[in-house]
Structures are given as structure tokens and as C-alpha cells.
């Protein structure tokens, strides 16, 4: 049996010196005082320590759900996480994983889940006023920032949650404060377009802007061809798509637009939603892109459809296991989760009682509409499944 005694280790009655990085410490030195020093010690037979660079590369491959435990290791590990350096390394080596942020009806705190929904944690309370807390909000993510846009007593604001520090900050505001806009995330930035201006005459917008999390700033982009509100956004084929919505006259728009960053222009796509039923009080289109294929949740029929690019048309793939028709699409989350589709809402079966139900599936755009070929949805257990099935906000962060 061995034990440490000051800077010595006793083994079988023999006293062995303990090696410090860079040499052997003389335990007889009176300046040492027999006290443990702030350094890493190992026996002469111990393997050499890892280099700092190799340690960072290893940590970058650890699941993000484990990062909260690093603060108990040492200050350097804590600094790697809180400074954001570790996330930059992950981005450079192509290691990313999705997290799902959810705000359910009746709750004041956001919840963050890992991809499999096996672990969750509660975010700090967003320090907004009561108007923002109780009002409608819209969310998007960029890098390690979760952005939440809504109305406070003094006007439209955007709050951001920084994953690295686990804190909320106000701002920066958009160049054109807006609501009911389209948004989507691509890489380390996000784009918003359209919506209603809320700092004046409630003008329906056709402007667009991009958020840069590194600079914490918004940059104006060229304006769309059409003004639109109640629209949705997504990234596909390297372009930012704005789909559906309503015009300044309140008329439903079946056209879409795609912004190509390469030529810095918008392209109008007529009749992209020509076969989609549109209700006056319907939610914005529920769309998600998986493996560069666009899917939509047709809420009036509770089915998933896939967009056929070659013919500018839609094809039905099969039903979803939640009731999206209860509130005409409001309160339902329909997102891409890596190579899967994610849907959260009120279950059409009794998987999780009266709480929110969570399902994923790996879609196949060639799936037939027969019983054998329909989408295979997998229910996910969730430690917070007593939350309301009405989802006020949901956002997927890839970092």
C-alpha cells in the first residue's frame, strides 16, 4: 500500500522521491516545508503528460452535455469553455452536435436538451420585463448564441443567451426591429427577412439582415422582391429561402424567394405553395431541411410532405404522431435535428400522458405513401415530459 507524504511516497518502507514536471523535487529542501505545491506531480514511472494542444483536441470531441463538469477539474478547463475557445476548435475540426432549446407554455425558464433528449438542464431566467415574458417571441440561433426577439414595454428587443457563459444579455437590436419574420441558421450566422416593423407604422417589410455572433452585430442584406409577414425560412442548396406568408394587403402568398450569397441576389420562385391549404389564422409554414431536402408539416391534415425541386411540387410522405391541427399549427415544433426530423407537441397517442410528446424520424424523400413505406417515428423519453404540450418557442443550435 502506498500513500503520499508531503512530496514523498512510501512503498514497502522505502521512501521514493516524487518527480515534478521538469525535474525531481528534493524533499529534504527546507524551503519546501513538506507542503503540497501548486503543480502536477507524478511518479518516475508515470507516463508523460499530454500537451496542451492535444488536451484541447480531446476535449473538443467530448459531448457538450459534459462540459459543465469541466469546472471541477481546473481553471484552465473552465477557461477553455467559458472563453469560447473550445467551440472555435470544434468548429475548425468539424465537430458539432445539435442541442434543442424549448420554452413551453406556462413556464418561465427555457430548457436545453441534448440530441437524444436523455439529458436536460434549465437555463437561467431571462431578465426581461413582464411584457416580454408574457408576449409572443421568436427565436433563432447563430454559433453559440440563442436569440430571442419580442416586445418589452419600451419597444422591440432581442435578448441573447450565450452558451459559453450560461448568461443572458440584451441586444444587439436589429437594424429594422420586426416581428413575424422568417429566419434560418447556416454555419456560424443567421439570417432574418420580412415581418412587420414594430417601431412605427407596422409596415410589412421586405428587408433582410444577417447576424454575426463573433461581432455581435447585424448586417443589412439586399431586400426581397416581395413584402411578406407570417413567413418561414430555411437553408437549402446553399441558399436562404423565405417561404409563404402574407402580403401587405393580408393576401396569402404562394410564392417563395431564395437569397444566393454568391451573387448577392434574391430569386423569386412562383407557386411554391400553390397546393398547400392556407387558413386565415394559420401559423407560418412549418418547414425543416434534412440532407438538403425540404419537408413541411401540413397541419390541417397532420401529415409530412416533401418538396420535389424538379417539378416545384409537394408529395405526401405520411402522418405525424402529434395533433398539429388542434391550434392550426401554433404550439407545435417541427425542426431538423441533424439527419432527423423532430416534432414536439400534443401526442395523438398516449406515449407521455398530457405533457409534451417528442418524436424523431429519419425521413426518406422517396418513401411511398403505403403503410409499409410511411415515416417511422420514434418516441423519445424526456425527464421534463410534464411540461405543457403547447410549445411557445423551439430552436436547434448546432455547435
Cβ neighbours for 142, distance < 8 A, ≥ 6 positions apart = 185, 188, 189, 190, 211, 212, 213
CATH number reported for the structural domain that contains residue 150 in this entry? 2.120.10.80
pLDDT per position as a tens digit, 317-358: 999 999 988 888 899 999 999 999 999 998 876 544 467 899
Question: What average pLDDT does this structure show over 86-107?
Answer: 89
Query: Is the same domain home to 27 and 108?
Result: no
Strand partners, 190: 185, 211
Query: Is the same domain home to 351 and 223?
Result: yes
Query: Is the same domain home to 363 and 317?
Result: yes
Query: Is the same domain home to 57 and 148?
Result: no
pLDDT computed for residue 73 by the predictor: 76
Query: Is the same domain home to 213 and 86?
Result: no
pLDDT computed for residue 161 by the predictor: 97
Query: Is the same domain home to 325 and 177?
Result: yes
Question: What average pLDDT does this structure show over 245-252?
Answer: 92
Higher pLDDT, 175 or 28: 175
Left if phi > 0, otherwise alpha if psi is -120 to 50, otherwise beta: which for 230? left
* Strand pairing report for 196-197 and 178-179: antiparallel
Q: Is 119 a residue whose pLDDT tops 50?
A: yes
Q: Is 200 a residue whose pLDDT tops 80?
A: no
Q: What is residue 264's DSSP assignment?
A: T
Query: Is the same domain home to 64 and 45?
Result: no
Task: Band the pLDDT of 184: cuts 50, 70, 90.
Answer: very high
Q: Is 40 a residue whose pLDDT tops 50?
A: no
Q: How far apart are CA 110 and CA 112, in angstroms?
A: 7
Query: Is the same domain home to 175 and 230?
Result: yes
3-state secondary structure of 89: helix
Higher pLDDT, 366 or 150: 150
Higher pLDDT, 175 or 276: 175
pLDDT computed for residue 352 by the predictor: 45
Left if phi > 0, otherwise alpha if psi is -120 to 50, otherwise beta: which for 338? left
pLDDT computed for residue 88 by the predictor: 87
Q: How many residues are listed for the chain in this entry?
A: 399
pLDDT computed for residue 96 by the predictor: 86
Q: How far apart are CA 271 and CA 282, in angstroms?
A: 18
Task: Band the pLDDT of 274: cuts 50, 70, 90.
Answer: confident
- Note down the domain range covering 75: 51-95
Q: Is 276 a residue whose pLDDT tops 70?
A: yes
- The model carries a pTM of 0.82
Higher pLDDT, 24 or 229: 229
Q: Is 30 a residue whose pLDDT tops 70?
A: no
Cβ neighbours for 27, distance < 8 A, ≥ 6 positions apart = 6, 7, 8, 15, 17, 18, 34
Helix axes 85-93, 75-82, angle to 10 degrees: 70
Query: Is the same domain home to 71 and 105?
Result: no
Query: Is the same domain home to 250 and 287?
Result: yes
Question: What average pLDDT does this structure show over 73-97?
Answer: 84
Q: What's the domain count of the chain?
A: 3
Higher pLDDT, 28 or 305: 305
How many CA atoms within 13 Å lie on the side-chain side of 216? 10
Last residue of a domain, one of 62, 95, 128: 95
Query: Is the same domain home to 292 and 318?
Result: yes
Last residue of a domain, one of 41, 67, 95: 95
Cβ neighbours for 357, distance < 8 A, ≥ 6 positions apart = 321, 322, 344, 345, 346, 347, 351, 379, 385, 389
What order do you get walking across the sheet with 232-236 strand by strand?
232-236, 239-243, 256-260, 265-269
Task: Band the pLDDT of 201: cuts 50, 70, 90.
Answer: confident
Query: Is the same domain home to 65 and 38?
Result: no
Last residue of a domain, one of 72, 95, 118: 95
What order do you get walking across the sheet with 357-361 strand by strand?
333-337, 340-345, 357-361, 378-379
Amino acid at each position: 500500500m502506498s500513500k503520499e507524504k508531503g512530496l514523498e511516497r512510501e512503498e514497502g518502507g522505502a521512501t521514493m522521491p516524487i518527480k515534478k514536471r521538469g525535474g525531481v523535487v528534493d524533499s529534504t529542501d527546507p524551503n519546501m516545508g513538506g507542503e503540497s505545491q501548486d503543480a502536477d506531480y507524478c511518479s518516475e514511472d508515470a507516463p508523460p503528460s499530454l500537451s496542451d494542444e492535444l488536451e484541447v483536441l480531446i476535449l473538443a470531441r467530448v459531448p457538450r452535455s459534459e462540459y459543465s463538469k469541466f469546472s471541477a477539474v481546473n481553471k484552465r478547463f473552465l477557461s477553455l469553455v467559458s472563453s469560447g475557445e473550445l467551440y472555435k476548435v470544434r468548429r475548425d475540426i468539424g465537430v458539432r452536435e445539435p442541442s434543442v432549446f424549448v420554452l413551453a407554455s406556462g413556464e418561465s425558464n427555457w430548457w436545453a436538451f441534448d440530441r437524444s433528449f436523455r439529458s436536460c438542464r434549465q437555463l437561467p431566467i431571462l431578465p426581461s420585463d413582464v411584457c416580454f415574458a408574457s408576449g409572443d417571441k421568436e427565436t433563432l440561433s447563430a454559433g453559440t448564441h440563442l436569440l430571442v426577439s419580442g416586445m418589452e414595454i419600451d419597444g422591440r428587443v432581442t435578448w441573447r443567451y450565450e452558451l459559453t457563459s450560461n448568461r443572458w444579455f440584451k441586444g444587439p437590436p436589429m437594424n429594422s426591429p420586426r416581428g413575424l419574420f422568417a429566419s434560418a441558421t447556416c454555419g456560424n450566422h443567421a439570417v432574418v427577412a420580412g415581418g412587420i416593423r414594430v417601431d412605427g407604422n407596422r409596415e410589412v417589410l421586405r428587408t433582410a439582415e444577417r447576424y454575426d455572433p463573433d461581432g455581435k452585430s447585424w448586417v443589412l442584406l439586399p431586400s426581397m422582391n416581395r413584402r411578406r409577414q407570417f413567413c418561414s425560412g430555411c437553408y437549402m442548396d446553399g441558399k436562404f429561402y423565405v417561404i409563404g406568408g402574407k402580403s401587405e394587403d393580408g393576401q396569402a402568398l404562394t410564392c417563395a424567394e431564395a437569397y444566393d450569397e454568391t451573387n448577392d441576389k434574391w430569386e423569386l420562385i412562383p407557386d411554391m405553395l400553390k397546393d398547400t391549404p392556407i387558413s386565415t389564422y394559420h401559423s407560418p409554414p412549418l418547414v425543416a431541411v434534412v440532407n438538403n431536402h425540404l419537408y413541411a408539416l401540413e397541419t390541417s391534415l397532420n401529415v409530412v410532405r416533401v418538396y420535389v425541386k424538379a417539378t416545384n411540387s409537394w408529395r405526401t410522405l405520411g402522418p405525424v404522431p402529434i395533433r398539429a391541427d388542434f391550434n392550426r399549427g401554433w404550439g407545435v415544433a417541427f425542426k431538423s435535428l441533424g439527419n432527423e426530423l423532430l416534432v414536439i407537441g400534443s401526442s395523438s397517442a398516449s406515449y407521455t400522458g398530457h405533457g409534451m410528446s417528442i418524436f424523431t424520424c429519419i425521413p426518406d424523400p422517396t418513401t411511398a405513401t403505403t403503410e409499409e413505406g410511411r415515416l417511422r417515428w420514434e418516441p423519445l423519453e424526456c425527464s421534463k415530459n410534464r411540461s405543457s404540450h403547447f410549445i411557445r418557442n423551439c430552436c436547434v443550435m448546432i455547435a
